[in-house]
Amino acid sequence: MPTPPPTGPLVTRDTLAAQLREVGVRSGETLLAHSSLSSLGWVCGGPVAVVQALLDALGPEGTLVVPTQTGDLSDPAVWSNPPVPEEWWEPIRVTMPPYDPAVTPTRGVGVIPETVRTWPGALRSAHPQTSFAALGPRAAEIVGGHALDCRLGERSPLARLEALHARVLLLGAGYDTCTSFHLAEYRIPSPLVKVGRPGPTGWEVVTEVSITSDRFDELGHDFERDRPVVRGKAGAADVRLFPVADAVAYAQRWLSIHRPRAEEI
C-alpha cells in the first residue's frame, strides 16, 4: 500500500513568520515559546524552519526563550514512564552522567526546544532539571544565575522574564505546558520535596518546592476567559499570546482558591 500524502497545510519559514507577526509577535520583544511541531501541519524544513521563522518575527533585537528541561536526570525510584526494576536504582544513581548545559539533550519538551538548544549562539541556564535556552541580545540576562535549588521560582529565568515584560507564545501547545504558572507555585503555600539528581561530585539530594501541572488546563481555560489573551492560527496550530506577568498573577490567585496545597516537607 502506498504511503499516503502528508496532511497540510504546507508551512514554510516565510508563511509562518508572517502568521506570527499577524497574530501579534512584535519585533524586538522577548518571547517564551512553548511549541508543538506536529500541530503546525507539514513544515518545509521542520524544526529548523520554525526556529528561523520565530527569529524572523522577533528581529535582531528580539530574544527567543524555550524550556530545555531534562526530567530524566532524576531519581529512578520515581520513574513511571516506564518504571525500572528496584535493583537498578542504585547503579543508575551511581552512573548517571551529570548535567552539562552544552551536551545534555532535552527531554519531553519537543523537537523545537532541542533545536534552539543546539543553535549557534544559544545560551542555556544551569539548573540540571529545569533549564531554559535563549537566543538574542537578552539571552545572558535571562538564563544567567539560575539557582541550582530553584527549579522554576524567583531565582530562575521565569522571574527574569516576568521582570522584562516578556510574553508567552503557545504555538500549538496547551496550557498544561505553560511554565509561567509554576512561578505562582513559589508565591503561595506549597509542599516541599526532596529531589534526587546526579551532581558534579556524585548523587545529590536537594529540598525544593513541589511543582505540578495538575489542573493547568482548567487554570488556562479560566485565565483565557478572564484576561486578554491574543488568539490566532499559524499553519494548522492554535496560537495564544499573553504576558508572563499576567499568567503568574492570575495563577497565584487561582491556585490558592482551586488547588490549595499543604505546606510540608
pLDDT digits (tens, 9 = 90+) for 204-235: 999 999 999 999 999 999 999 999 999 999 99
Quote the DSSP letter at residue 43: E
| All three cell numbers of 2 | 502506498
Question: Per-residue pLDDT averaged across 181-191, rounded?
Answer: 96
Give the 3-state secondary structure percentages of the chain, helix then strand then coil, rounded to 5: 35, 20, 45
**For residue 132, pLDDT beyond 90:** yes
Query: Cell numbers 539557582 correspond to what residue?
Result: 147
DSSP 70: B
What one-letter code names the amino acid at 264?
Answer: E
The answer to whether the beta carbons of residues 252 and 41 sit under 8 Å apart is no
Q: Which residues contact 128 (CB under 8 A, 6 or more apart)?
A: 70, 73, 98, 99, 104, 148, 197, 198, 199
Instruction: Read off the pLDDT of residues 1-27 as tens digits, 9 standing for 90 and up.
Output: 677 777 779 999 999 999 999 999 999
Predicted confidence (pLDDT) per residue in 153-175, tens digit:
999 999 999 999 999 999 999 99
Closest CA to 51 of 136, 177, 126: 136
Angle between the 216-226 and 244-258 helix axes, to the nearest 10 degrees?
A: 120
Half-sphere exposure of 110 (CA within 13 A, CB side): 23
**Would you state the cell numbers that stand for residue 49, as one nine-digit string?**
524552519
What integer pLDDT is reported at residue 264 of this predicted model? 44
- Return the pLDDT at 1: 67
Which uninterrupted H or E stretch holds 135? strand 132-135
Long-range contacts of 121-124 (CB under 8 A, 24+ apart): 124/68
Which pLDDT belongs to residue 17? Answer: 98
pLDDT (tens digit per residue) in 56-84: 999 999 999 999 999 999 999 999 989 99
pLDDT at 188 over 50: yes
Q: What is the model's pLDDT at position 261?
A: 86
Compute the distance between CA of residue 177 and CA of residue 170 in angstroms, rounded to an integer.
8
Residue 60 carries which DSSP code?
T
Query: CB atoms < 10 A from the CB of 109, how many?
Result: 20
State the pTM of this model.
Answer: 0.95
pLDDT tens digits, one per residue of 40-57: 999 999 999 999 999 999
Kind of pairing, strands 192-199 and 132-135?
A: unpaired
Q: What is the mean pLDDT of the chain?
A: 96
The radius of gyration of the chain's CA atoms, rounded to the nearest angstrom, is: 19
